Amino acid sequence: MDSPVFAPPAFDRRAWPMNGRLDYWTAPGGWPLRRYRLGDGARGRMLVLGGRGDMIEKYLEVIHHWSERGWAVTAFDWRGQGGSGRLTDDPLCGHIENFGQWIADLEAFAAEWRGEGEGPAVIVAHSMGGHLLLRALAEGMPPPDAAATVAPMMGVHAGLLPMGLARLIARGMCAMGHASRQAWTQKEESGWQRAARQKRLTHDPDRYADELWWREHSRDIALGPPSWRWVAEALESTRALERGDGLERIAMPLLILAARHDRLVSTPAIRRVARRIPGARLHVYGRDAAHEILRERDHVRLDALRRIDEFFDEAAPA
């Protein structure tokens, strides 16, 4: 009689992995950033950067994957979101006065992180985190041994609204005193509203439900729409990065993953930027991928993880 074949237990996406460390790191000026670390680092060290409105909990599944491959994985919540406090009186408003503040936080955090151990040091950055990483590198931050950006925010998807008009509206709302107010509403009271938002993020309803579960069970990490200042800063920062000459100076192995039908960031802008970074590799998924590629259905998510793993094995060998 054949022995039964047992599949490995599924990862519990609604619980912190065993043996991880959750604490706070003090950013320049004394601001506490919530930090999480998992893994022994036999393979090397990895820094995971989330996007706008994200929190560490959304990435526990991929953090666990990379820790199982031997990486010592570190992630943190950006200033003003997740478990790193808020910058306005509205706890659901994603606000920042200047993207340069996040660049300063990243540079200081990465400098300390780079000095924590030996072996290859790599970064995986999603959406806004991808933009901030590439901007920091273009402005002279010492590069890791390799990096992968996933749906990096090289441009904001504004639908049919011309970019010039979008910038004018955002600057006008800030000038009128609405800089720290939510730029739009995010309604999720009905099933239709939740489904509409889910489709912009991922085709996987279960992983989308995980995000809602974490937000409901840890209300202090929940975040809603961005402020008008964030919108104005995002439009200006992405334009300045593409118009400048810093992209050509990024000298490190870089993998870029994108989704052709991304409804949050501009895939044409990602293509333009990828052509300008020396040696950058770009893979664009089709209709089966939305914005959150690392939280997509398994056939997309696992393909993305495979591409990232193989890239780091080649570009940053143990």
Domain presence at residue 297: yes
219-268 tens-digit pLDDT: 899 999 999 999 999 999 999 999 999 999 999 999 999 999 999 999 99
For residue 22, the model assigns a pLDDT of 98
In a domain, 7, yes or no: no
Neighbours of 190 (CB within 10 A): 9
* 54 domain residue, yes or no: yes
CATH for 39: 3.40.50.1820
The residues near 31 (Cβ < 8 Å, ≥ 6 apart) are 79, 84, 85, 105
Q: How far apart are the first and last CA of the chain?
A: 42
pLDDT at 4 over 70: no
Residue 6 lies in a domain: no
pLDDT higher than threshold 70 for residue 140: yes
Q: Is residue 16 part of a domain?
A: no
Could you tell me the sign of the dihedral formed by the alpha carbons of 46, 47, 51, 53, in that order?
positive
pLDDT over threshold 80, residue 149: yes
pLDDT at residue number 262? 97
70-74, 160-164, 226-230, 247-251 — which is least confidently predicted?
160-164
Task: Report how far residue 24's alpha carbon sits from residue 32's, in angstroms, rounded to the nearest whole number.
Answer: 6
What per-residue confidence (pLDDT) applies to 105? 98
When pLDDT is cut at 50, 70 and 90, the band that residue 3 belongs to is very low
Instruction: Tell me the pLDDT band of 159, cut-offs 50, 70 and 90.
Output: confident
Instruction: Please indicate whether residue 291 or residue 194 has the higher confidence score (pLDDT).
Output: 291
Structural domain contains residue 9: no
Is 1 a domain residue? no
Which distant-in-sequence residues (6+ apart) come within 8 Å of 49 by Cβ? 75, 106, 123, 124, 125, 126, 129, 130, 132, 133
Per the structure, the complete domain to which residue 251 belongs is given by 21-315
What does the mean pLDDT of the chain come to?
95
Query: What is the per-residue pLDDT across 172-228, written as a single tens digit (0 to 9) for each?
Result: 999 999 999 999 887 766 778 889 999 999 999 999 999 999 999 998 999 999 999
| Total of domains in the chain | 1
165 pLDDT more than 80: yes
Q: What is the DSSP letter of 287?
A: T
The pLDDT of residue 9 = 61
Q: pLDDT above 70 covers what percent of the chain?
A: 97
In a domain, 166, yes or no: yes
Mean pLDDT to the nearest integer, 140-158: 96
Q: Kindly tell me if the per-residue pLDDT of 61 is higher than 90.
A: yes
Overall average pLDDT of the 32-40 stretch: 97
**CA distance linking residue 263 with residue 127, whole number of Å:** 12
- Put simply, whether the predicted model's pTM sits higher than 0.85 gets the answer yes
45 and 121 Cβ atoms separated by less than 8 Å? yes
Average pLDDT over residues 266-282: 97
**What local confidence, expressed as pLDDT, does residue 160 receive?**
79
